[in-house]
Amino acid sequence: MTPRLRTQDLEWREIDSDIVVLDGRDATYLTLNGSGALLWRMLSRCATREELVGALLDAYQVDEPTAEADTDAFLSTLSEQGLLAS
């Protein structure tokens, strides 16, 4: 599975190590830091789910089931907020 960020009405910028996202559809902001910022950056480069999990494994002291669960939760949240392409 290769999740994709929505391209219309979605702007984001990196500020220091954080990601600030503006959803232009309803003018809401989202700020991501830590693992969320890492995963967002990778999604912006069209990373696969497996690559996202691998990035968490490389960056944090977590086991694979935890990295998979965290990645799935992150993707689920983005999907619920309409930030992923359909």
User: What residue numbers bound the domain in which 60 lies?
Assistant: 10-80
- Is 2 part of any domain? no
- Is 54 part of any domain? yes
- Is 39 part of any domain? yes
- Is 22 part of any domain? yes
- Per-residue pLDDT, 82: 94
- Is 73 part of any domain? yes
Give the sign of the dihedral formed by CA 77, CA 11, CA 85, CA 5.
negative
Among 84, 86, 59, 55, smallest CA distance to 71 is for 55
- Is 86 part of any domain? no
Task: Encode the chain (86 residues) as per-residue pLDDT tens digits.
Answer: 689 999 999 999 999 999 999 999 999 999 999 999 999 999 999 999 999 999 999 999 999 999 999 999 999 999 999 999 97
- Per-residue pLDDT, 86: 78
Q: How many domains does the chain have?
A: 1
- Is 4 part of any domain? no
- Per-residue pLDDT, 1: 63
- Is 85 part of any domain? no
